[in-house]
Structure 1
Amino acid sequence: MLTDVLRRFNRTYTQRIGVLDESFLGTGRPLAASRLLFEVGNDEGVSVRALRDRLELDSGHLSRLLRLLEGEGLVATAADEGDRRRRVVRLTAAGRHAYDDLERRSEDRAVTLVAPLTARQQEQLAEALATADLLVRAATVRLREVTSDDPVARVATQRYFDELDARFPDGFDPGGPDAPEPGATYVIATSDGEPVAYGGVRPVIDDETAEIKRMWVHGDWRGAGLGSRMLRHLEALAADQGYRRVVLDTNGTLVEAIAMYERSGYTRIERYNDNPYAEAFFEKSL
């Protein structure tokens, strides 16, 4: 039923916003090239790698699209002055004009599309699309194993620390830089190339027990089930590594996390570490 609704919506929406036209919104460019132009203009000085990750395009297809835009004089690609190994894409003056024109055409199409609806219907549509957008994004995030010093993992870790510092009554001090953790495995969830969830497992207590650490979900993504999905993924990872039990700790102010752990079958146990910020301790058999 859900897939039928999703496929019908895709057919309806793509037809009505001009995706099927060879010239998207009358710009003379196909949708893929227009989307790439938007991404470059929306993030001036973006690297080729970031574009590839964000749009999930293979290198060959992205190169062809860039050559198309370069051929029209809309973008220029050059080595990054700060890191000559990176190639950075920027709009030219003509590209800025084309970007502004694309934005105007997109806004006009959106306004025309919803104009027949009442104010209440427009509000309902906005709420429904926001929910659909979040859930589709949550369903399609990419999970991959990383080391704790991976650049994206570092970003996620810092955001996790920043949130703890903001939420804990007396703040949070992570201490010094991370030391290597033998046997630890971390998992990052990304969408459009940005980290949206993070967590890891590491050995603790005995050979049969792993600890789940640094469970974090971006605030904009909460309510979409991503935290539960990450938790299940980490449990499966621990089981695959031969562990029969997982434990974790958390602070009492993180009530959403505690509720998720209890819904997921975790039970409270006595303190098992000396973490000064930990106030609640849980375990679960795998």
Structure 2
Amino acid sequence: MSSENNTVADIRHFNRFYTGVIGVLDNHILQSDYSLSEVRVLYEIGQQEKCTAGYLTSTLKVDGGYLSRMLRKFEKAALIARQQSSADGRTFFLHLSPKGRKLMTMLNERSSGEISQLLEPLATHQQEQVASAMKTIESILTSQPSPTTDIHYRYDLQPGDIGYLIHLHGVLYARETGYNLEFEAYVCKTFQDFLTTYNTSKDRVFLAVADGRIVGAVAILGASRYMAQLRWFLVHPDFRGRGLGRQLLNMAMAFCREKNYSKVYLLTTSMQTTAIEMYKKAGFHKTGEKFMQLWGQEMYEQRYEMEVVHA
């Protein structure tokens, strides 16, 4: 079976599994006279200040005739009310009635309670993994990355951080520049050397974390009393274009000023064009390069340096 067919089969398998989970939630949590589709419509009406039937049709991808029948049912049950637009007499806004709001409050509480019960047997990190996986699916299928507010920064290295950074370097550089396994071995060696001499008084690794996973990193390593090296600068493709890389570089340079480093240098290759542009904008300038055949590629290794400006 081809890789594409395997992917389709995996998705269909997950659909069958998750449909069963949703079925459990729908039948045994809500315990109401309303289907999942009907509850979705009521939820949207409650969320939108000026909700119209047209909005519901386009947003929820609901057939117009089916939606009309639902709305009549809701009106008959006194769950919603219509209000004519003062600007356009042909437009009617839909609102939840007090009875409708009471129903939705009850259903939301039941749904949250059942989901909590579903997650209860899982460890905290497993619950976070489930939520993160769901956000990833939504993000990819809608082409809308998770909000920037989901990102936080830390520099306290924890068990597993370095291993995951090695993984990210191996996967992303292979995908984007064609580096082979020799590069991953090189990254492993550099981190091994770093951990044997790691000292928080002179070194710092800044991590950007979203939904429990590392999505960006940069490090400052003290090379001497007045010189530091910038290393392992990386931003996950799903989180690029948001200023995350610039924020990481700013944090790194602030640390250099804090530790009174007067110069920072970095080593990169001519293939890292995007990162090089960021280095230049930050104030780095190229001080040397040499041709190399390395990691399955032909490239120029380049050195960049920057004087640290102290206030």
Normalising by the smaller structure, the TM-score range is 0.3 to 0.5
* TM-score of the two chains, using structure 2 as the length reference: 0.42
User: Which has more helix, going by share of residues?
Assistant: 2
* TM-score of the two chains, using structure 1 as the length reference: 0.46
Larger Rg belongs to: 2
